[in-house]
Structure 1
Amino acid sequence: MTEIAHSNLHRTAWGDWWEGTRRTDIWWTLAWFDIVLRYRRSMLGPLWLTLSMGAMVGGMGPLYSALFGTELSKFFPHLALGIIFWTFFSSIVMDSCNAFINSGNYLKQGYFPISLFVWRAMARNLIQFAHHIVLYIPVAIWAGISLKMHALLFLPAFALFLINAHMLGLVLGLVCTRYRDVAQIVTSIMQMLMFLTPVFWLPESLPGRGRYILWNPLAQMLDLLRAPLMGNLPDIHNWTGILIWTVVNLAAASWLFSKYRRRVVYWL
């Protein structure tokens, strides 16, 4: 066992990351167990996720449509997907900040590749997202949205999101474990970005000089995911922007992971 532990600790950064990534049996089971524990002794269990999100979307749709003077059949799908995806985004970011801190018991008791716990946080949020996205089906049927072939663009967009989420999870997990105040800063930034991202409002309602707000990478990612599901084509500039952010995230995560991954256990 000593030789195995010694060998594991001296793996390359790539080998360390791959060891955590390939153990889907561990991180998926831990994620599912997290959901089960959260809703233990509850009659509806994870269905509370769907009901609470449905109540929020159903209550806000008519209200915000009237406030913005927009036809409900056009605004309701936009708002529903905006809230569903933003909840997904913000949950992953917040969980990434505490991915290693909340897994300290595992990391202190034995060797585990730290990428495993980022995947755990992502898997937990994917389960919650699966409960939320079903709400869009009745909304789309009611609004008469017909999906076309370019709806398949959702798949590469979602793959890009998962890549960026994992890389950002590694970065935030490392930084927030070392500097605990960063998690509070990230929370404040996400609250601000919620209003700078077209979650509750339509991008075309912005004045000419205000459209720089749409350079926000979360706004670009939201367009790539939402537009295909509404029967529209995402803006080509958003594809370019997200590809650039993907390269930046990969570079930052690779550098931090290779340099600091062995120090995480000492920061807990």
Structure 2
Amino acid sequence: MSQAYSNLHRNAWADWWEGTRRPDIWWTLAWFDIVLRYRRSLLGPIWLTLSMGVMIGGMGPLYSALFGTELSKFFPHLALGVIFWGFFSSIVTDACHTFVNSSHYLKQGYFPITLFVWRSLARNVIQFAHQIVLYIPVALWAGISLSWHALLFFPALLLLLINAHAVGLLLGLICTRFRDVTQIVTSLMQMLMFLTPVFWLPENLPGRARYVLWNPLAQMLDLLRTPLMGGMASLHDWIGILCWTVGTSVVAGLLFMKYRRRVVYWL
């Protein structure tokens, strides 16, 4: 009882660290989520790879013809765009349900809420790992030659994970208190998919429409995709994402400090 009391009244940093330092728990829970989702399935999580591969294979030649772009140039652009957008979308969508889907744990005893944010993020990382392998045959077919710029993919991925954790806390808290926000976020992500260069090339935009590239999801996509296509993302995108990371981390931290103890009462 005294342990539960001390946990509920510890400072926000200690509460955050208590959940973050237990990857053995949240990684195991994330893996079980994947296993249960594909229980009694013959191929299991490989269906993630196959379904994404079929979609990319069907859309590539069609959209290349529609946009009048050489297939060898457009196909890796589309493949990476679809893979990364699927990652973005699942992170944001799952963030809205982070605490609601973990209510049976939170109602039974003390658990630091960051544990379930990491669980959601780990589950999406596992799914992403099953899908990013599709990049290898696409890159070999398109003859992409990587340079040292490809190493910039890793700091970009780190920034994505930091943002994903902050967004997980932010949306998890807001959507637990206000359930209608989940529907707003879902609709917003559907709209942003068409305002982000997933299916189209940024250079095809007219000058007056380039403001859509200020979209942080478009900037994050450029940081991740460009190094894997043998290029280097612009400094503008790095600065934009760094500013966005600081902003989301600060807002998520403030909400976490103020409302972390109320989550169980909102469930």
TM-score class, shorter? over 0.9
| CA shift for structure 1 position 131 | 0.3
The corresponding residue for 2:10 is 11
Q: How does 1:77-96 map to 2 (within 5 A)?
A: 77-96=76-95
Residues 127-163 of structure 1, C-alpha deviations (whole Å, 9 max, x = no match) = 0000000001000000000110010000000000000
Aligned amino acid, residue 83 of structure 1? V
The corresponding residue for 2:250 is 251
Q: How does 1:1-268 map to 2 (within 5 A)?
A: 2-268=1-267
| CA shift for structure 1 position 123 | 0.4
- 2:120 & 2:250 partners in 1: Cα distance? 21
| CA shift for structure 1 position 239 | 0.2
- 1:30 & 1:247 partners in 2: Cα distance? 29
| CA shift for structure 1 position 121 | 0.4
| CA shift for structure 1 position 36 | 0.3
- 1:144 & 1:165 partners in 2: Cα distance? 32
- 1:250 & 1:80 partners in 2: Cα distance? 30
Structure 2 counterpart SS, 1:99: coil
- 2:140 & 2:234 partners in 1: Cα distance? 24
Q: TM-score, normalising length from structure 2?
A: 1.00
Please, which moves more after superposition, 2-11 or 216-225?
A: 2-11
- Extract unaligned runs of 5+ from structure 1: none
- 1:230 & 1:211 partners in 2: Cα distance? 21
Aligned amino acid, residue 43 of structure 2? L
- 1:99 & 1:246 partners in 2: Cα distance? 20
Q: How many residues align?
A: 267
Aligned amino acid, residue 249 of structure 2? L
Structure 2 counterpart SS, 1:49: helix
- 1:197 & 1:184 partners in 2: Cα distance? 20
Aligned amino acid, residue 208 of structure 2? R
- 2:235 & 2:78 partners in 1: Cα distance? 22
Q: TM-score, normalising length from structure 1?
A: 0.99
Which aligned runs of 4 or more in structure 1 are off by greater than 3 angstroms? Answer: none
Aligned amino acid, residue 242 of structure 1? I
Structure 2 counterpart SS, 1:109: coil
- 1:11 & 1:156 partners in 2: Cα distance? 32
- 2:92 & 2:18 partners in 1: Cα distance? 23
Structure 1 counterpart SS, 2:85: helix
| CA shift for structure 1 position 250 | 1.1
Aligned amino acid, residue 179 of structure 2? R
| CA shift for structure 1 position 124 | 0.3
| CA shift for structure 1 position 197 | 0.0
Work out the percentage of aligned pairs sharing the same amino acid: 78
Structure 2 counterpart SS, 1:156: helix
- 2:23 & 2:211 partners in 1: Cα distance? 40
- 1:59 & 1:15 partners in 2: Cα distance? 49
Residues 142-186 of structure 1, C-alpha deviations (whole Å, 9 max, x = no match) = 000011001000000000000001001100000000000000000
Residues 94-119 of structure 1, C-alpha deviations (whole Å, 9 max, x = no match) = 00000000000000001000011010
